[in-house]
Homo-oligomer: A and B are copies of this chain.
Amino acid sequence: MTQPQPVMTADQLNQFIAEVYPQILEQLPGHDVRLVEPGRVVVRMEADERHIRAGGTVSGPTLFALADMGGYACVLSHIGREALAVTTNLNINFMRKADPGPLDADCKILKLGKRLMVFEASICQADQKDIIAHATGTYAIPPK
């Protein structure tokens, strides 16, 4: 697959997101774009007691928020900071319990068109390989 090329680095993304989403660190504490490469972004968060649901697992809305943020980081890193893209669809499968601690969303761009970006995100406990949740989503990209 001819991979789309990023136009922002991980550092630039972190700085930009902190500016336009100052509330991000409240919602996704420890939010950190750790990797940007052609067609791929890895985003981390630190799940803590606030994100836990009954049964001691990280809540579905928290994992959704992390996947959605990963998709946003995909758009932003590959289109640039003028991107005003919005999520139009997100489908998520929850597969395993998630423990508190660092969680990584490894996100791949499946298609970057003029009007739509489609991505998938695999969420794992940091440095582990069992997939906790898997999401596929679409961002609509407004005309310039």
A residues with CB within 8 A of B = 1-2, 20-21, 23, 27, 50, 53-55, 60-62, 64-65, 68, 84, 86-96, 110-111, 113, 115-116, 118, 120, 129-131, 134, 136, 138, 140
Contacts and interface: CB of A to CB of B under 8 A. Distances in A.
Contacts of A84: 55
Chain A interface helix/strand/loop/mixed: mixed
Contacts of A1: 129-131
Contact of A138 (B53, B61, B88): B88
Contacts of A60: 64-65, 68, 87, 90
Contact of A20 (B50, B54, B87, B92): B54
Given A60-B87, A95-B113, 7 more contacts: A61-B68, A88-B93, A88-B95, A93-B118, A115-B115, A120-B134, A134-B136
